[in-house]
Structure 1
């Protein structure tokens, strides 16, 4: 005969944390964390229950931490707020832009469940476009598998060159060791191609065979060491540049304006294996190099805008979602007197 039964009410636990979270702006909060002048209100019991670090901090003999306000340093304020919300049962959005900040706090505060989530995210999202970022932060990671996988990808960045300037044999550059080795030959020897990494492929688009600009496009599989022929672009492009946003490739610019390439942006959909063209009110002249980079789903192109004259360089910002250029930035942008050979984004940069 059954004399007792234990009931577990998951709904009750969830409701309790929801109520605690709702009271974080009330007088019942007994601790405030301050990170870079950002105040995060909380309950000591919640922090201590979720973090061994916080438990030791709040219950130990540290006079400076017995105050109602505690200042924390060497962590990101936005990430700290997200982690505290996570302690109260809220979902947390992990992206390649915030994962290392969240990972750092998870490690410092001994929140193992969130630490594992960050490591799983890194393993799933690792590709050639973020491998260098992940590898440089590998000391934060417990999983050597992530470091090794990043190193494998870093060894697959390549360039195409030889003494005559035309080559079908790309060279793999290992960014860690600095060694250069040849990989499988491209199908057509050419130069002045637009290169772009997306997922586990490196795309080589357009270029010239020495006589004319090409519509040709192919991609290199870094795992199988095989080049795959893609459908041709609608317009030939030489000295173009390419960037990827949300799984699509965007190709800008041309040297010779053959067939209207100046006034269009070529877009490739790898899933449907289809090229389309977007009309562009800005056209870039590639008599000198163009540079391109992307950040937060926006594409930044540095180079000569034909409308400004042959001697003027500037930056223009393209929004792939609206398929338009940022006109406000275009009007206010300062002309660049020098050719821009490369461009990259740096997060949280502070000038001295």
Structure 2
């Protein structure tokens, strides 16, 4: 009979042995090496240090001169940090606080203790603040903590409105300021805040920094400033007036607003609005129809971070085919149909009070209208007044609570797709009661004029339209014979449309919005059924996937995205 072999395993032996080693060290027994920093000395066991700390493993196992020395001098390391990390070698614990985190990170980098280094980075990441994020970023970059550098960069972008007023920002070198101001991802409500940041930085040390102003002003997207701001605030600034180069930049920005035909030649600035994709927005679905055809006052909101719908405060009026836009962080429900009449009334939902209130009514009754917010104003266009499709356009000034008529569109458009791209308003498709359009027209607020752009690849009314990453996306709708699930994308630089991945479901009366770097197609009608389902498009992967369906709606809703301000 062959010898039988049994293996006994005491799995917790390492866990039991290390506390004993720590106790032996505390008694000063069997220690065979002393680490010296300045006048501080720490006794330890070579084998424990080599087993736990990569730096000492290399030192003691590769015949370095220190491997034979009883006392080893350590240079460029904080003695308290070294003591903590030698203790860590025995017990796997280290306490991190505001006072020791930097010295611990430096020492952990020196000793190649990646786990402790990562813990220090995580500690700093969780405590980023507008007053320290730039310093943390610089420190992290010095010690090659790439994850923390990226986190600090995103924090700077997300909280730029507070960071720009910090002492750290005002003390940055010119190259760092140029880098930050050039980023697409800066979270600003208007480009005016970037202009203000430039002046704050220059005026902090005006004598040495005044010459930097022209190259900093190139980073400000001056075409995104209103003509009024350019005239009232930029042109009157003494620093601008005293610089030939800055005055030239100002003239180019004015030409951008006044001379549309020269826009392709004006490459001095970026004209695309900044978009911080780290800022989530709550998607509000407003009004719509029941399955029996009745108008709704119901409102629900979707949090894309947790993919969950919840019911919000209902409007005071039932509204289907309602126009929805978000202006200054407030959600507007505009016009629509209440089951009997087309409406001119407008109400606004205030996030802080969670209540709807009426504001001034439009000049025209409109359902199936387009609505968009731009330059602190609310624009509505087209729609149906109960008799005919409209081409009229009006603008709302919330400060004075008044609507003003603007230039008509080039076509009568009801059920078109309307959104803002690069500081202009786009109206895509729709119908005039007789024909469904593939045409696209674009409105310039400075000149109060409309112009045609390249038509879409398909005729579409009741489509969804959204802007993301400098491009337009048109989805779904109805072409007169077929309910569509196709999607196409417009590139303004090439003035051309191309197909992208189709939605999973046919959707007429679909609401399309972009937030957090994705596009959401919400509700609609597939030719036989009102839809509560929602799909999300990822432009990087060119894929659609279903997310949580609406809980209180089916069919066509109006949709707006209310940005959630990041907490400091």
Identify the TM-score tier after normalising by the shorter chain.
0.5 to 0.7
SS in 2 for 1:87: helix
Q: Structure 1 residues 348, 245: CA separation in 2 closer, same or farther (over 3 Å shift)?
A: closer
Q: Distance in 2 between matches of 1:261 and 1:230?
A: 24
Report the counterpart of residue 223 of structure 1 in structure 2.
352
Following superposition, the deviation at residue 170 of structure 1 comes to: 1.2
Q: Distance in 2 between matches of 1:224 and 1:341?
A: 33
What TM-score does the superposition give when structure 1 sets the normalisation length?
0.54
Q: Structure 1 residues 85, 255: CA separation in 2 closer, same or farther (over 3 Å shift)?
A: farther
Following superposition, the deviation at residue 172 of structure 1 comes to: 1.9
Task: Select the residue among 332, 344, 351 that pairs with 2:466.
Answer: 344
Q: Distance in 2 between matches of 1:177 and 1:157?
A: 15
1:304 aligns with 2:430: yes
Following superposition, the deviation at residue 190 of structure 1 comes to: 1.8
Q: Structure 1 residues 317, 90: CA separation in 2 closer, same or farther (over 3 Å shift)?
A: same
Q: Distance in 1 between matches of 2:438 and 2:462?
A: 8
Following superposition, the deviation at residue 298 of structure 1 comes to: 0.5
Q: Distance in 1 between matches of 2:347 and 2:298?
A: 14
Give the conservation status (yes or no) of the 8 Å contact 1:236–1:261. Answer: no
Deviations 1:219-260 (A, max 9, x none): 1012211001011111000110101110001101112465x8
Q: Distance in 2 between matches of 1:54 and 1:91?
A: 15
Higher RCO structure (Cα 8 Å, ≥6 apart): 2
What TM-score does the superposition give when structure 2 sets the normalisation length?
0.35
Give the conservation status (yes or no) of the 8 Å contact 2:437–2:461. Answer: no
Instruction: Please provide the CA RMSD for this pair.
Output: 3.8
Report the counterpart of residue 77 of structure 2 in structure 1.
none
Q: Provide structure 1 residue ranges, at least 5 long, that are not aligned to the other structure.
A: 1-49, 58-74, 101-113, 115-132, 139-149
Q: Distance in 1 between matches of 2:305 and 2:179?
A: 36
Q: Provide structure 2 residue ranges, at least 5 long, that are not aligned to the other structure.
A: 1-136, 145-152, 158-171, 188-200, 202-274, 472-490, 492-499, 501-541, 543-568
Give the conservation status (yes or no) of the 8 Å contact 1:282–1:305. Answer: no
SS in 2 for 1:293: strand
Report the counterpart of residue 377 of structure 2 in structure 1.
248
Following superposition, the deviation at residue 317 of structure 1 comes to: 0.8
Matches within 5 A, 1:1-352: 86-87=174-175, 93=181, 97-99=184-186, 134=276, 136-137=277-278, 150=280, 153-154=281-282, 157-161=284-288, 162-164=290-292, 165-256=294-385, 262-286=390-414, 289-304=415-430, 306=432, 310-327=435-452, 329=453, 333=455, 336-339=458-461, 341-347=463-469
Q: Distance in 2 between matches of 1:159 and 1:257?
A: 21
Give the conservation status (yes or no) of the 8 Å contact 1:172–1:183. Answer: yes
Following superposition, the deviation at residue 212 of structure 1 comes to: 1.8
Q: Distance in 1 between matches of 2:173 and 2:460?
A: 47
Equivalent pairs counted in the alignment come to 226
Deviations 1:188-213 (A, max 9, x none): 11211100011221000000111221
SS in 1 for 2:379: strand
SS in 1 for 2:174: helix
Compare 170-179 and 85-94 and name the one that shifted more: 85-94
